[in-house]
Structure 1
Amino acid sequence: MASSARPATSSPSPLSLGPLIMGGAGFSYQLTTDPSSLPAASILSRAFSLGIRTIDTSPYYHPSEEILGAALSSPEITTTYSRSDYILMTKCGRLSSDKFDYSPSWIHASVARSLSRFQTSYLDVVFCHDVEYVSVPEAVGAVGALFELKKAGKVRYAGISGYDLDVLVDVAVKVRETYGMPVDVVQSWAQLTLQNTRLEKQGLGRLREAGVRAVCSSSPLACGLLRDGGVPVGALGDWHPAPEGLREKAKEAAEVVHGRGQKLAAVALRFAVRRAVENSRDGVEVATITGIGSLRDLEENVETARQVLGDGIRPEVWREERGVEHGNSVDRELEEKDELLFEQVRNVLGSWVDYDFSTKS
């Protein structure tokens, strides 16, 4: 890499990720059958040039870390960008679909492995992955290990991720009580989407009270549910948690949107980005993580997000203007049309609106 200088060990400045983050799960066997065939370096180079400078992944998204690490170390990236030009986020604690290790020793080992894969001396953010699958004390202890790694300069910000909002809040509250400092950032997936807005209704206020100042809303398409063609199926088969009834309604919604000359994926992404920006207030910044698995995905997602953000897609502009909050929507006519589409889609989804994937039914 062009530069892998270790960051200062003093407390870093407040975390600002920009409004749009590149998700790395698209380079995994969960979402594709041959992730190693993807042009990762070209995708990253184009993403950086378009203004996306934050990357999120996990060892669980095998082999995403290895692919992205090799790409970031390639001349296609290093001849133009230094390590300080982008933000690296990864995770720890989840080993497989049903195996977790939140022990402090493994947290340290996992971070060391990620540092090696990315060929860097520090990671900007590390999340404890899917905290709802372990006990609250285990999760709190793992965050404590990340705080130790912060002091050592190997991690800049410590976070937690998961689906269950109540568990995320419980862990955030207990971390602050235990260590006298808050979790830096929380990642919640598929909870601020056209199908489910529980994050803004039941999560953000409580996380703010727990001292959290940055929230990542991932899976704006509900892991591929809100798109034409149904949920994605990779080499690991159909793992999507949506019941058949919800899947059928999502397909029906896609047909309705198609009849209006739009694609459900684009409408859903505009909804998620807009709601994230609108909820970036009162000291909490909300960013959207969108999955990228090809140059076409990247171009389409950025073009869609720009319809909401304009130049605010670039982190430096976002920090100055905060996008929609300061009137930076570039297409008011589209915004008005979208509001009607949003309502139509949610009417089609009916009782499945705000359905919780963790519901046992």
Structure 2
Amino acid sequence: MNASQRPVPLSQIMPPLVLGGAGFSHQVHQNPNATQTLKVLQRAFQLGLRAIDTSAYYHPSEILLGEALSHPDMRNRYSRDQYLLMTKVGRITATEFDYSSAWVRKSVLRSLERLHTPYLDVVFCHDVEFVPEAEVMEAIGVLLEMVHEGLIKYIGISGYRIDVLAQIAQRARTEFGRPLDIIQNWAQMTLQNDRLAREGLNAFREAGVTVVCNSSPLAIGLLRANGVPVGDLGDFHPAPLGLRVAVKKVADYLDQIGESLAELALRHAMRRAQAFSSPDFRIATITGITSVAEVDENLRTAQEVLQVSSEPRWLWNDEAARLGDGDIIREKKDQLLCDQVHRILGEWLDYCFPSPGDDWDVTTKKPIVASL
């Protein structure tokens, strides 16, 4: 995967599961550190999970990942062409965005330095619904320049609003004469919200996109037994109280029958991704991982869904998935569980988080301050 070579279609190399770098940030972890990151990457790479998605916004994720990837134990074992690195530009803090040409270029160069890499496999414009569309087009133009310079291989956009992502993808194809390579949408191909499958995939495919990343299959940690994650920055999760209460009822129900909400949610998201994937249009699931135990748990869950082989490189090579009798039984059981979960969620099924919300001015890219 030398960046100077003409890249193959991203759909041919994107694995079904991607390690999310937000787990190494202050947003979702109380003490992100180099030791934790190195141990997670060592275990993930050993088991074949060798695609990473992060962002400059997930501070200090890029720095920690770069230190881990350049550690002798990693550098001497894995060459750069044995893993994928994806990051993002444009979002700086919770309330600060900069999509200008100068900042996009500076941000990419900084990411290259932080990650200790000569090129990036994918760069996304981060949370595009928060800024004017014209500014997104400007940023995409800069990323395309950097593709020609050999610093980036593939480009895309990320965000929550499916309609905004589809509109920008169509406009980008028209204005630049080529489609975006990839789109990332979060928390909308989950056990709680399936709008990405119904409202996004066809629109993205029509815009020429060949890879879609479904990030946050647990809805930023909402779909688990122990509540939303609280990092150094406090409780930032957008789920309202009613949804949190409904999810707690789901978790309690599943616990009573010996099932894990987090594992069921991940299996469900990966099955949905697999159902809509084809050789020329791939859906990848990005899962947040903060510990070696979570690596093992997520890989075990993914393996149940994708295939029965225990070959360590199965996620990287993405060999043909196949189901054994036990997997078919598990899938049928899961469908019954999902049906019950949906009944418990009731009115909260397919609920969408407001993004950016009524308190945000897209034109000024600033919060709206209520007048007294």
Contact 1:21 1:52 in 2 (8 A): yes
Q: How far apart are the structure 1 equivalents of 2:211 and 2:6?
A: 19
Contact 1:9 1:151 in 2 (8 A): no
Q: How far apart are the structure 1 equivalents of 2:281 and 2:112?
A: 28
- CA drift of 1:95 comes to 0.4
1:165-176 map, 5 Å:
165-176=162-173
Number of matched residues? Answer: 353
- CA drift of 1:39 comes to 2.0
Q: Which amino acid aligns with 2:340?
A: Q
Give the equivalent residue in structure 1 for 2:116.
Answer: 119
| CA root-mean-square deviation | 1.7
Equivalent of residue 358 in structure 1, options 327, 342, 354: 354
Give the equivalent residue in structure 1 for 2:227.
Answer: 230
Q: How far apart are the structure 1 equivalents of 2:63 and 2:316?
A: 29
Contact 1:115 1:121 in 2 (8 A): yes
1:341 lines up with 2:337 in the alignment: yes
Give the equivalent residue in structure 2 for 1:257.
Answer: 254
Contact 2:10 2:154 in 1 (8 A): no
Contact 1:38 1:293 in 2 (8 A): no
Contact 2:121 2:153 in 1 (8 A): yes
Summarize deviations over 1:98-144 as a string: whole Å, max 9, x none: 11000111111000000000111100000000000011111111111
Give the equivalent residue in structure 2 for 1:62.
Answer: 59
1:185 lines up with 2:169 in the alignment: no
Structure 1 pair 329–53 and aligned structure 2 pair: CA distance change class (3 A): farther
1:150 lines up with 2:147 in the alignment: yes
Q: Which amino acid aligns with 1:226?
A: L
1:131 lines up with 2:128 in the alignment: yes
Which secondary structure state, in structure 2, belongs to the residue aligned with residue 147 of structure 1?
helix
Q: Which amino acid aligns with 1:132?
A: E
Give the equivalent residue in structure 2 for 1:278.
Answer: 275
TM-score by length of 2: 0.91
Q: Which amino acid aligns with 1:8?
A: S
Q: How far apart are the structure 1 equivalents of 2:122 and 2:143?
A: 10
Summarize deviations over 1:318-346 as a string: whole Å, max 9, x none: 2x42x2xx547861111111001111111
Q: How far apart are the structure 1 equivalents of 2:183 and 2:326?
A: 29
Which secondary structure state, in structure 2, belongs to the residue aligned with residue 239 of structure 1?
coil
Give the equivalent residue in structure 2 for 1:87.
Answer: 84
Q: How far apart are the structure 2 equivalents of 1:26 and 1:187?
A: 17
Structure 1 pair 111–227 and aligned structure 2 pair: CA distance change class (3 A): same
Which secondary structure state, in structure 2, belongs to the residue aligned with residue 211 of structure 1?
coil
Summarize deviations over 1:36-69 as a string: whole Å, max 9, x none: 1652112111111111110000010000000000
Q: Which amino acid aligns with 1:343?
A: D
Q: How far apart are the structure 1 equivalents of 2:324 and 2:271?
A: 11
1:314 lines up with 2:314 in the alignment: yes
Moved over 4 A (4+): 326-330
1:217 lines up with 2:214 in the alignment: yes
- CA drift of 1:260 comes to 1.7
Give the equivalent residue in structure 1 for 2:69.
Answer: 72
Which secondary structure state, in structure 2, belongs to the residue aligned with residue 346 of structure 1?
helix
1:207 lines up with 2:215 in the alignment: no
Equivalent of residue 267 in structure 1, options 252, 264, 267: 264
Give the equivalent residue in structure 1 for 2:370.
Answer: none
Contact 2:120 2:151 in 1 (8 A): yes
Contact 1:42 1:76 in 2 (8 A): no
Unaligned runs of 5+ in 1: none
Contact 1:126 1:158 in 2 (8 A): yes
- CA drift of 1:281 comes to 2.8
- CA drift of 1:282 comes to 7.3
Unaligned runs of 5+ in 2: 359-372
Which secondary structure state, in structure 1, belongs to the residue aligned with residue 86 of structure 2?
strand
TM-score by length of 1: 0.94
1:43 lines up with 2:40 in the alignment: yes
Equivalent of residue 6 in structure 2, options 3, 10, 35: 10
Summarize deviations over 1:2-56 as a string: whole Å, max 9, x none: xxx9522535433421110000101000011110165211211111111111000
Q: How far apart are the structure 1 equivalents of 2:34 and 2:49?
A: 22
Equivalent of residue 19 in structure 1, options 16, 21, 26: 16
Which secondary structure state, in structure 2, belongs to the residue aligned with residue 144 of structure 1?
helix
Say which is worse superposed, 29-38 or 201-210, in terms of deviation: 29-38
Give the equivalent residue in structure 1 for 2:365.
Answer: none
1:105 lines up with 2:121 in the alignment: no
